[in-house]
Amino acid sequence: MTVLSTDTTTATVSTHVLDTSLGRPAADVPVRLATRPGPTAGWEQLGGSVTDADGRCADLPALPEGTAQVRLEFDTDTYFAREADGPPAPHAVGGTFFPEVAITFTVRPGEHHHVPLLLSPFGYSVYRGS
């Protein structure tokens, strides 16, 4: 369970990954988090996490005060390589079409931002959830 901050000077971020090709959460997807204070500033890598059995990252690093933009990077190639159990799936040969998915979004202090990734071997979709 993610604990939401009541601090009005920082934002919070959470994510989860759903494998739409299998109709289930995507477990063990490496996720990295970076932040920056504005669109022209450099990215600061804060660390990362790995999705749990429910496809969620419960332990992403906290955002520093003054964060204006966040980037979540999902290592989808590693995930799809592990999912290639049994007979080779079309995406198992040479990995997936999108070996990494990087999502950049704007955050507002005091707000929680939940950004789910809907994933398949040849496409993905994201949205701001609740």
| Amino acid identity at 44 | E
Mean pLDDT, consecutive 10-residue segments, the chain of 130 residues?
58 95 95 96 96 94 95 94 59 71 95 96 94
Euclidean distance between CA atoms 74 and 49, whole angstroms: 10
Euclidean distance between CA atoms 4 and 44, whole angstroms: 22
Euclidean distance between CA atoms 130 and 121, whole angstroms: 25
Domains of the chain plus CATH, in order, are 12-126 (2.60.40.180)
Phi then psi for 38, rounded to 5 degrees? -170, 170
pTM of the model: 0.85
pLDDT of residue 8: 73
Q: Give the chain's end-to-end CA distance (angstroms, integer).
A: 14
